[in-house]
Amino acid sequence: MTDTKFPPLRRVVTGHDDKHVAKVLIDGAPTNARHGGAGNVSTLIWCTDGAPADIAIGENVEDMGARKLGTAPPANGSRVTVIDFPPGNKPAMHRTETIDYVFVLSGEIDMDMDDSTVTLKQGDVMVQRGTNHSWVNRSDKPARLGFVLVDARPLGIGHAVAGTSSAS
């Protein structure tokens, strides 16, 4: 039997109090996890509404990880997500109008594109630039990936995901 469980995620968000002292504002499990039909678990860690991002002083910040988003980040913004892919997940080909920074935190995963496949292993980092792709875990162990999606100029090709699914 293969272990498909990961340790719980811990999210630590920092900021400044009203006296400009740096401190931890949020420390605990992220609150926004979605369980996809493919067996994936997608956990939104944080997002931004634009660039430059709002990092205003104050302890009562909005929990930007609690927002309900689809795959794409807000317009001109960003989205940070951790996705757990079980072995044998059901892939879904998709494309976003984003530049994605992908970090393989554990395991290995294949990214299938239109006519090629690249295998990524723990420690690998990918810069994905709006390509049509799907994530497939063909190994016998779960894979955990971190994603940072940044809104990008539209390519004007194909059909990009408009922010309605949960796989990055």
| Residue pair 59/115 in contact by the 8 Å Cβ criterion | no
- Give the count of alpha carbons within 13 A of 157, CB side only: 7
Which tens digits make up the pLDDT trace of 75-100? 999 999 999 999 999 888 998 899 99
Residue with tokens 């794409």: 72
Q: Which CATH number fits domain 31-151: 1.10.150.20, 3.30.470.20, 3.40.50.720, 2.60.120.10?
A: 2.60.120.10
The residue that leads in pLDDT, 140 or 71, is: 140
Each residue's pLDDT tens digit, 13-64: 999 999 999 999 999 999 999 988 777 899 999 999 999 998 989 999 999 9
Q: Could you give the CA distance from residue 149 to residue 140 in angstroms, rounded to a whole number?
A: 27
Q: Residue 163 above 60 pLDDT?
A: no
Contact criterion met (CB below 8 Å) for 105 and 112: no
- The domain spans of the chain are 31-151
Q: Which residue has the higher pLDDT, 48 or 4?
A: 48
